[in-house]
Amino acid sequence: MSSDDPAKNIALYPWYQFCRNLVFWQAIWFLFFQNRLSAAEAILLYAIYDIGTTALEVPSGYLSDRIGRRFTLIASAIAGVLGVLLLSFGGGFAAFALAQVFLGASTAFNSGTDSAVLFESLNAQDRQDEVEAQELKAWRFGFAALALSAVLGGAMSYYSEVLPFLTSALASGAVLVICLKFSEPPHRAGTIPQGSELLRLASLRPALTQPVLAWLFLLSVLMYGFSHLPFVFGQPFILEALADVGLAAEAPVVSGATSAVMMLLSVATSLIALRLRHAIGLPAILMLAFAMQIVLVAVLALTNSLFAIVLLFFRMVPNSLSQPFILARTQPLLADDSRATYLSLRSFCARLLFAGSLYLASLSTTTSGQMVYAELQQVLGWYVTIGVVALAALVVWARRIRIEPPPTVSA
């Protein structure tokens, strides 16, 4: 493949997101760990995943900016294959923890670099105005894959709890093949000379202090945590709700079906997201999305009825209404030589904060057996309180700065 083929990168990008999101174990991972270890250790394993990602977030962004996007994505794919294989064949807390580190590394190397490949490839063809539409297209591909793999993974677990992990390993292999087909997107010449690494890192300071980027940075950090709360606690929640009606044995399949509907609703929302964003404006749609996340967590804290499982269907809707637009607003404000570093730093902060909160949550949960709803209710209640305060602060701040990009002036 030629080294200057941005059009092929753009065509491959949705399929990269599709294969990367074929996560067949997503609907059973907590139950898988809880059955072999305990609820507290299952939470800690997710925290280890986040810590593994966090430790490599900024270095991976720097690697992407310094060495190249393609190399970094290939490293991400290899780490993903190793992590899922270790989950398939490992046993005990230590092996699972190492697998989580590999998966965390895979996420870190992908973080920011995938979007940078898309934006820079579009930029090279003077198609920057397509970034929102292209991000939404990739979003649909990714969440269609999540929906498909969720329902299939839940069904696979009836035959073998390991089968969803093995199938995910094959999908990770497909990701590696696509990464090998990517070309390095052209970069605009930077003002920082190669080798001046302290200057390169210092170049992030204006981005971090620019009001719009700072506001989007904080919002992204908060929304990451609130998006993942139902992911971490959704499976024990479903198990508790089904146990009350004598259907605990159906938890893996119900969890898979719930995740599938969740992702399909996200895809459907993405079809109207762009029109809604233009109708109500960028600040309003982002605040709406964050508020929806908080309300969902609040409902899970108030009731463990089957009705609450239905509300889990809407977990990813706020992401469809926010993430593509946050990326589209952020990318043009960043320099090519620090773009992935900035995005990785943002993920670093989000994961560090969430991992820390999960560690605190694990201290108030059982160290043996399954998590009970009373423990879950207490944990989620604290998250809701923090979320409401943060939402109010973001609304006040948004009124003082220009979140909406300036209108494009045609020649």
In this prediction, residue 219 carries a pLDDT of: 95
Please state, in angstroms and rounded to a whole number, the distance separating the CA atoms of residues 334 and 131: 14
For helices 282-302 and 323-330, give the axis angle rounded to 10 degrees: 140
Q: Are 333 and 327 in contact (CB under 8 A)?
A: no
SS3 content of the chain, % helix, strand, coil (to 5): 80, 0, 20
Structure tokens at 195: 């080798």
> In the numeric block, which tokens belong to residue 94?
């230590």
Burial label for 333, CB within 10 Å (0-12, 13-18, 19+), is middle
Does residue 59 contact residue 341 with C-beta atoms inside 8 Å? no
Q: 124 is written with which tokens?
A: 């090279």
The answer to whether 220 touches 241, Cβ cutoff 8 Å, is no
Q: Which two tokens stand for residue 42?
A: 């299952």
Distances, alpha carbon 159 to alpha carbons 85, 136, 142, 261, in Å? 18, 35, 26, 22
Tokens found for residue 83: 């992590």
Among 204, 197, 248, 205, smallest CA distance to 31 is for 248
Work out the mean pLDDT of the chain and round it to a whole number.
Answer: 79
Query: How high is the pLDDT of residue 263?
Result: 77
Q: Are 64 and 350 in contact (CB under 8 A)?
A: no
> How much is the average pLDDT of 379-405?
90
The residue that leads in pLDDT, 259 or 261, is 261
Mean pLDDT value of segment 168-178: 92
Asked if 133 and 274 count as a contact pair (C-beta separation under 8 A), the reply is yes
Residue type, 96: F
Kindly report the CATH class assigned to 7-184+206-398: mainly alpha
Tens digit of each residue's pLDDT (9 = 90 or more) over 332-365: 887 766 676 777 778 778 878 887 887 777 676 5
Count CB neighbours of 295 within 10 A. Answer: 16
Q: And the tokens for 178?
A: 């696509």
Give the CA radius of gyration of the chain. 21
| CA-CA-CA-CA dihedral for 47, 48, 51, 52, to nearest 10 | -150
190-226 pLDDT tens trace:
444 343 334 455 556 666 678 888 899 999 999 998 9
Among 26-30, 50-54, 396-400, top mean pLDDT goes to: 396-400
Considering the entire predicted model, what is its pTM? 0.66
Give 253's pLDDT tier (boundaries 50, 70, 90).
low
Give the model's pLDDT for residue 139: 81
